[in-house]
Amino acid sequence: MKKKIRRKVVHREPEQIYFEIYEPRELRRKILSSAIEIVDTLKNYELSKDTRSAKEKQLRHAKSVFSHMKSSFRSLKSSLPPVPKYALPKPEKKHFLFKEVKVEVKKTKEFPPQNMLPQESSAVKRLENELSQIRNKLESI
């Protein structure tokens, strides 16, 4: 039987390269301003993720309520005695004259209840802290 040969991988440190940076303050200011934009984007993403999860939770709750209503309606319908078709009253046909009526719809802002608003997660709070630190560094330059 042949022996397996094991080779050791040697990790070497990369060589350090030095170069001159012209206008380091301006470069640092640009880097910090781009970091602010990145943190803002991450914060918006976290908020949208929290909103999405709250929305999914509300949809699941609504589905369960509707399924409960459906099962309750079925049980009510099954508990009622059967009625023959000839015993049911016949619907009267009424003739309606339709008039065109212009209705102005007023848009009102509907605010969700306070308990329905998404709570800021720890990730959003952490991002806000990072954002304030970056802004402080930017102001100190």
| 84-107 confidence digits (pLDDT tens) | 888 888 888 777 777 777 777 777
Residue 52 included in any domain: yes
Question: Quick check: is 48 in a domain?
Answer: yes
Torsions phi, psi for 12 (to 5 deg): -105, 145
The span from the CA of 50 to the CA of 40, in Å, is: 15
Range of the domain at 54: 37-62+124-141
Q: Is the pTM of this model over 0.85?
A: no
Q: Would you list the DSSP string of 24-61?
A: HHHHHHHHHHHHHHHHHHHHHHHHHHHHHHHHHHHHHH
Q: Which of 37, 40, 31 is nearest to 141 (CA)?
A: 31
Highest mean pLDDT among 36-50, 85-99, 113-127: 36-50
Cα–chain center distance at 109:
21
The pLDDT of residue 136 is 84
Q: Where is pLDDT greater, at 103 or 42?
A: 42
Q: Could you tell me which residue, 127 or 3, shows the higher pLDDT?
A: 127
3-state SS, 92-127, equals CCCCCCCCCCCCCCCCCCCCCCHHHCCCCCHHHHHH
Look at residue 106 and tell me if it is in a domain: no
In a domain, 43, yes or no: yes
In a domain, 97, yes or no: no
Give the mean pLDDT of 38-61: 93
User: 105 in a domain, yes or no?
Assistant: no
Structural domain count, the chain: 1
Question: Does 67 reside within a domain?
Answer: no
